[in-house]
Structure 1
Amino acid sequence: MSGSVNENQIEKYPSNTITPEDTKDEKKLPLDSPTTAPQGELYELEPKKEGFFESIINDFKPATTTRGDGAALKRSLKGRHMQMIAIGGAIGTGLFVGSGSSLANGGPASVIIDYTLIGIMMYFTVYALGELAVAYPLAGGFYTYCMRFIDPGWGFACGWNYFLNYFVTFPLELTTCAITFKYWTEINSAVWISIFLFLIIFINLFGVKGYGEVEFILSTIKVIATTGFIILAIIINCGGVPTDHRGYIGGKIISHQPFRHGFKGFCSVFTTAAFSFSGTEAVGLAAAEAENPRKSLPHATRQVFWRIAIFYVVGLLMISLLVSPDDSDLMNNSSNTSVSPFVLAIREAGIKGLPSVFNAVIIISVISVANSCTYIASRTLHALALNKNAPSFLTYTDRLGRPLMAMILVLAFGFIAYINEAKNKSTTVFNWLLAVSGLSSFFSWGSINLCHIIFRLAMKKQGRSLDTLGFVSPMGIWGSCIGLGFNILCLIAQFYVSLFPVGGKPNAAGFFQGYLAAIVVVVFFIGYKIYDRTYIRSLADIDLDTGLHTFEDLSDNNNEKPRNAKGRIKQVLKNVC
């Protein structure tokens, strides 16, 4: 039979009857035909026309096929989606708003140094994740690597902690969206929460395509706005704004009080900077739904260097030159966008209109974060269920590749945002919810680096060549060792700040809100080990084959030669530049 045949339209007929008229030349039968044909013959059935509403209903039916990793997710993310997810993934409230409290607590020098150090750590981490994700583009991202390379118990603990982080953050971001509008109006927050919750639900109806397109658009806006701010900040600093009475500023502000609150302030900025980069690892999770992870993921990971260098380091350098750490607005509630140093820098220059424009950019950033929260939380929960670490009904995936039950659970939790109306208790409730997973990023990034280290050691132990991999991290195993060390330092710094908070005295509530997540991870890990009694596998016993995509499997060009060790220096320069 010529032409391609949709497997859903193929049917085998028993051999006890024949079809003398209908099967002579034309092997096509209507869907409701009662006729049968000789055994083994395949007949293409005419597709049944579906109405608009019938098509929508059918899209929610179970997926008919699964991939090698057991998931039925669709590979719909294009290269441009992956690039913007990588570039704009961490540009959000952590940069636009959280940097304000960092400036007030640690001073401009601490901000520049700490954000640069954390950026270097993320550079190593994302490259390690890129190598693993190209080799194993599986549902669940780094969680599945923890299960395979470290220990099933550790994977269980980190997977649930990672899910809870974005699960809890979702309603908080909806609340932040509502509070952001107070810059213009005092309309009840519940109105804005309802609008944004409906918007996020609507976006998720389009599955991974909806996530990819929305992130592409919103990340593009964030990148343009941040780039525009840097240019404007240079003009303001040089005295090029007529409405700014300060004239030429230069380094007057940054040299006045470069460090604040000593070593304690430095540590507090160190941890805040790390939280600001949360979401960078989403590009590895999205690899499971990328059209061509071998091609798009390496290119996306290379964007991390420029994002760190331009948007964070240069952007915060300009903020440090324009906004004084003594500004009283910076010490206000960090959920209020009036404390955004970006908005303050524009407002203090006397430029009318632009503060509102940048406030709108912050709203866009918050929507982007909320959209990412639903994507990351639902995919992680779906992967947990696939590995039998969550209830089996959460594995349900519809024909559009949406992990439907996991999505519904995550989106339903968004209604917790309405607790914001209980003004006396809302802050306390959200603080304790966030405390459950507050250190998730450190455990996630540290685990990614550790997975890469063990993966490389297992490759060497089992005599495997790196030339077979579709993408090799130019930083190698030592880059992952440095990244792991940075994460351990972050956990130590967070412990110190939780025990001795900046501007306050040690107290039990403050400590547990800052470090409760570590206790939760340890409890999850020990509980799993007691229940399942798994053991840590030796390097020789680690499974490197299941789900592995080699260079030859993923290459689009059959004449392309595998990379070797001699070309590693050139590759580093190419990746950086």
Structure 2
Amino acid sequence: MKANGTPVDFSSSGEDIGVVGGTTRIFSVTGEKGKEMGGKEKGNSSDADSAQQGELQRQLSGRHLNFIAIGGTIGTGFFLGTGTALVKAGPAGCLISYIFVGSVLWSVMVCLGEMATYIPTAGAFSSYATRFVDPSLGFAVGWLYWFGWAITYALSLVAAGLIIQYWKHDVNIGILIAVFWVVFTLINYLPVGIYGELEMWLSSLKVITIAGFIIFGICIAAGAGQEGVLGFKFWSDPGAFNEYLVTGGVGQFVGFWAVLIQASVSYQGAELVGVGAGEARDPRKTVPQAIRVTYWGIMFLFVATMLLITMVVPSSDPNLLNDSSNASASPLVIAAQRAGVKVLPDIINAVLLTAVLSAANSNVYSGSRVLLALAEEGQAPAIFKKTNRHGIPVMAVAGTASLGLLGFLNLSSDGGKVFNWLLNISGVAGLTTWASTCLSHLAFMRALKAQGIPRSDLPYVSRFQPYTAIYGLFFNVLITLTQGFTVFINWNVSDFFAAYISLILFVVLWAGHKLWHRQPSVNPATADLVRGRYDLNEERSAADGGV
């Protein structure tokens, strides 16, 4: 029975109900073996059998979730992109942009936290949109998000090859792409506990490097470098705000908004905590903790690093305009060179290599779980639900990894143009996912109210709702719509389609699914708040006096 006394229809809840020997049994596929109401275990199902039916295994701890998200967030965009951000907006504009986008990310994370602890499921974003808002929205968000991570896998493989060329210029990038593709595709077939442990160590190297730079930056700003005490010298000369594309105050605002969009892409990946929730041990405890640690950890690392970069590197430094894909373009390296430290470029380049390889690892993991979720919602071929005895979605991993081969497009100039268009899709895919998460949370709260379930029953309750969700939804939609605004200042048809192809694809996916299936939006009173609940059996057992 639901909390308001209406009967619950378990026929579509992912559970089989039967009466055996006078005892009602509920055989759950939500992450635990089926149990009888009286606490007796279902004894005719093996781990291997349940895994073949599409069941993931809960082997990820809280620290695994933290580092999977950190590994997916801190990549080349953070190590290299901060340089161009500093040029566009200046030190103050740059720092404000990153802090502001951090507040938008916070709204997404707390919305995700409430839903992912109540219904922890792989590929959470598309599942929540489908079950609480509209199946067509879930279809469009899920497929766009999956494609974004799959194509980012190809980017990571290409970036790894370019970084290695820093040491050996004549190396064939095609060979490196092939080798890395094989290695990281195979890694994603390992049991998820091993994958999580490997990702933890790869991500730890990036965290240690950033922590080291923070200490280094403080020392340089305090006068340890050859330029003497810097403090906030570069905030006054050349200035706190830069003009971008146009002059005057408008140009300074344009610079700020351009970096706002860039920062939103840099933060993407933090939401992977929600993807891993379906394989987390005791998600009621691990997911909220992982969300808090991931958010505040990423915010501290990003904001502290950005602050110190603005203090030790002037926005007028010509090296910031270096379009190289290796360490020479990193503001961390430029800061070391200005301070007279010679050895750091090689160290940073090695960390960059670790960063992109860690990101490649996360790309396949996250993409495969989203594809699995789409299949479970009937929005992708059922073959992608197949898992092996270790709970690995074998076909979803293969389907996601196959798009990594698009990295070979970069071996030709014409192919490189196509590849860049595909990357524009991946950038906005994260923003649409953030927006849909906030919208799904508003619909989730509406469904709870309609079905008589108080928010106090949730394992994790965030503050300031629904205002937090509205705040995140508004700014995510605004940033998504304006992310290509620079093409309207210097109009170019090719640049327009490159900037907005992702939104066009999103509309095509949503409208196509809506016209084909003609499914109505979800009624809050009948929204599925049962299937996938991790604690469902325990609550029912307690209600019936079970042990």
Q: Normalising TM by the smaller chain, what interval? A: 0.7 to 0.9
Q: Does the 8 Å CA contact 1:162/1:444 hold for their aligned counterparts?
A: yes
Which residue is equivalent to 1:537?
522
List gaps (5 residues or longer) in structure 1.
Answer: 1-43, 46-60, 559-577
Cα drift, residue 239 of structure 1: 1.4
Cα drift, residue 64 of structure 1: 1.1
1:128 corresponds to 2:111: yes
Match of 2:423 among 407, 421, 434: 434
Which residue is equivalent to 2:452?
463
Q: Could you report, residue by residue, the CA deviation over 1:536-557 in whole angstroms, capped at 9, with x for unpaired residues?
A: 13322322233334599489x9
1:368 partner amino acid: S
Aligned length: 489
With normalisation by structure 2, the TM-score equals: 0.85
Q: Does the 8 Å CA contact 2:70/2:298 hold for their aligned counterparts?
A: no
Cα drift, residue 305 of structure 1: 4.3
1:217 corresponds to 2:201: yes
CA distance in 2, matches of 1:233, 1:268: 25
Match of 1:484 among 473, 491, 505: 473
2:206 partner amino acid: K
CA distance in 1, matches of 2:402, 2:434: 28
Match of 1:197 among 155, 174, 181: 181
CA distance in 2, matches of 1:71, 1:133: 19
SS of residue matched to 1:425: helix
Higher Rg: 1
Match of 1:249 among 224, 230, 236: 230
1:452 corresponds to 2:422: no
Q: Does the 8 Å CA contact 2:217/2:312 hold for their aligned counterparts?
A: yes
Aligned pairs for 1:329-344 (under 5 A) are 329-333=319-323, 335-344=325-334
Which residue is equivalent to 1:379?
369
Q: Could you report, residue by residue, the CA deviation over 1:372-411 in whole angstroms, capped at 9, with x for unpaired residues?
A: 1101111111221222211222222111111111211222
Match of 2:503 among 500, 518, 533: 518
CA distance in 2, matches of 1:88, 1:201: 16
Aligned pairs for 1:23-102 (under 5 A) are 63-65=48-50, 71-102=54-85
SS of residue matched to 2:73: coil
2:354 partner amino acid: I
Cα drift, residue 128 of structure 1: 1.0
Cα drift, residue 195 of structure 1: 3.2
Q: Does the 8 Å CA contact 2:131/2:522 hold for their aligned counterparts?
A: no
2:304 partner amino acid: V
Cα drift, residue 205 of structure 1: 2.6
CA distance in 2, matches of 1:384, 1:296: 24
List gaps (5 residues or longer) in structure 2.
Answer: 1-42, 245-250
Match of 1:499 among 477, 484, 488: 488
2:311 partner amino acid: L
Query: Could you tell which deviates more after superposition, 188-197 or 293-302?
Result: 188-197
Cα drift, residue 336 of structure 1: 3.9
- CA distance 1:153–1:305, change in 2 (3 Å): closer
Which residue is equivalent to 1:51?
none
Q: Could you report, residue by residue, the CA deviation over 1:72-110 in whole angstroms, capped at 9, with x for unpaired residues?
A: 211111222123234444122221111111112222112
Match of 1:238 among 205, 208, 222: 222
CA distance in 2, matches of 1:392, 1:208: 22
Aligned pairs for 1:141-290 (under 5 A) are 141-186=124-169, 187-241=171-225, 244=226, 246-255=227-236, 256-260=238-242, 261=244, 262=251, 263-290=253-280
Match of 2:120 among 134, 137, 144: 137
Q: Could you report, residue by residue, the CA deviation over 1:435-490 in whole angstroms, capped at 9, with x for unpaired residues?
A: 33431111100111111111112212322112221111234321111111220221
1:71 partner amino acid: G
1:474 corresponds to 2:474: no
CA distance in 1, matches of 2:452, 2:343: 63
SS of residue matched to 2:224: coil
Which residue is equivalent to 1:324?
314
Cα drift, residue 493 of structure 1: 2.9
SS of residue matched to 2:466: helix
- CA distance 1:394–1:304, change in 2 (3 Å): closer
Q: Does the 8 Å CA contact 2:68/2:200 hold for their aligned counterparts?
A: yes
Q: Does the 8 Å CA contact 1:498/1:510 hold for their aligned counterparts?
A: yes
Which residue is equivalent to 1:360?
350
1:508 corresponds to 2:490: no
- CA distance 1:451–1:488, change in 2 (3 Å): same
SS of residue matched to 1:143: helix
2:182 partner amino acid: F
1:216 partner amino acid: M
Cα drift, residue 421 of structure 1: 2.3
Cα drift, residue 361 of structure 1: 1.0
CA distance in 1, matches of 2:204, 2:469: 30
Q: Does the 8 Å CA contact 1:108/1:320 hold for their aligned counterparts?
A: yes
Q: Does the 8 Å CA contact 1:436/1:517 hold for their aligned counterparts?
A: yes
Aligned pairs for 1:358-437 (under 5 A) are 358-422=348-412, 424-437=413-426
CA distance in 2, matches of 1:406, 1:551: 27
Q: Could you report, residue by residue, the CA deviation over 1:183-218 in whole angstroms, capped at 9, with x for unpaired residues?
A: 222122223323322321231231322331122101
SS of residue matched to 2:178: helix
With normalisation by structure 1, the TM-score equals: 0.80
Q: Could you report, residue by residue, the CA deviation over 1:483-521 in whole angstroms, capped at 9, with x for unpaired residues?
A: 112202212331423433xxxx21011111111111111
Q: Does the 8 Å CA contact 1:438/1:515 hold for their aligned counterparts?
A: no
Q: Does the 8 Å CA contact 1:112/1:313 hold for their aligned counterparts?
A: yes
1:179 partner amino acid: L
